[in-house]
Structure 1
Amino acid sequence: MKKILLTVAGFDPSGGAGVLLDLQVFRSLGFQGTAVLTALTSQNIQKVWKLVPLPASFVLSQYQALKKDFAWRGIKVGLVGKKANLSVIKIILEELANLPRVIDPVFRASSGAWFLDQESIPTFIKTIAGRATVITPNLQEATLLTGIKVRGLKDMEKAAKAVYELTGAACFLKGGHLKGEVFDVLFTGQHIHVFKSQRLPVKVHGTGCFFSASLLAYLAKGYKLEDAGRLAGCKTRRAIRGAVKPKASRGRALFSF
């Protein structure tokens, strides 16, 4: 059987983000994927209509059932859904402490819908502090975590260091929302690494999920964090170039596998 990864995240019925996308990314990099659902959503490529968080007891039940059968090589945590689910996330991260643990802090959809209310973010920070390998915020998420408004590369470096100080986890800060050239910043706790890339003309649904799932897979393959980040970024950009827009959609494109 293939080596196995775990994603703990929400369900996007478009297949463009959440656990459905994570599982496809895992498979594309040679892993079998398993999933624990935290929430259901009513959404398409353009907009989120409704979020239905699942009960914490059911989230825990899914995990407990899966761990009887599977020996994972790494875990990714995405959309949490509600504050109560953080207690389960804490249990999972502590039990899988010897594995690569990637945290994608999905607080808010691009369309503006909240996936975790702002009042719960301090609890989110306490939950992952000391329990994660790397956290992968975008600029808005970094601001919500640290209070730092990011306007350029120097602010990105400052915010990445602040995330590390808050969580004890390396921070891979994605800079795609800034104008001009695209910079991503990785702070490992000791070193700053800056990744520069060309801005691509197409907007794709689920890029954050795609990147964090790829990052986990490369870490599970044994790559060092800097190399895993570079490889995950390259894979994400290749996938963006190959994304397709459904005929009926006026929204973003979807990744094509």
Structure 2
Amino acid sequence: MSREPSPKRFEALKIWLKSGREKKLKEIAEELGISASQVRKWKCVDRWDEIPDTPSKRGAPYRNKNAVGNKGGGAPEGNQNAYKHGMFAKWLPNDQETKEIYAAVREGMSTLDILYEEILISFTNFIRAQKIMFVKDINDETKVLKKQKKQLENQRVDTDEGSKIEQYEVFVEEEWEYQHAWDKQAKLLTSQAAAMRALTSKIKQYEEMIRSMPPEMVSEEHRLRMDKMKADIKAAEAKAW
């Protein structure tokens, strides 16, 4: 059973945030009576730099649909109020879709939410790959054209107006690759193992983040998500193998 996180862990974070993220870690450590290396470790493991600022009370929560279709007092199209203040915004593509995605993520998603979406996308790709890479039986062979060489040849063509020379493309060399069933199956098993390792790692990271955060900062939804993900992936892994 994992140990309960130290109360000083959350207290250190609160002190740092209250200082506007400017107080030195050494000073926080001295205030709490712990080592500076311990505070540095908490800052790294808990990803303090990724914790969003407290959102404005005037905005609706992420995914809230109360204002769907609202024509009221929102910012005009093309407004970059929420977009331009991001550190990397100026390097992103300058199109409306990118701006909307960036603004939604920056304003409404926590680090846990982002990691959860990443896990969902990875799991979706894993399931989809089962159909694409499926090997029917030992005779399931794929023939793939790797290289093709062609040249122009002249040919005399007779018409009502007389004869003329026309040029045609003729394939003079082709190189094919045969993917046998056992080769495809080996690639499938290798890719499955790699995908499952990546998924498991992300879920462990998600679980560790939940455990390391104070209970009041973690919603019941996050805990239920974790349990469901572990069960779904365990079932999918058993089916895949």
- The TM-score, its normalising length taken from structure 1, stands at 0.23
Q: Which has the larger helix fraction?
A: 2
Question: Which of the two has higher C-alpha Rg?
Answer: 2
Q: Which has the larger strand fraction?
A: 1
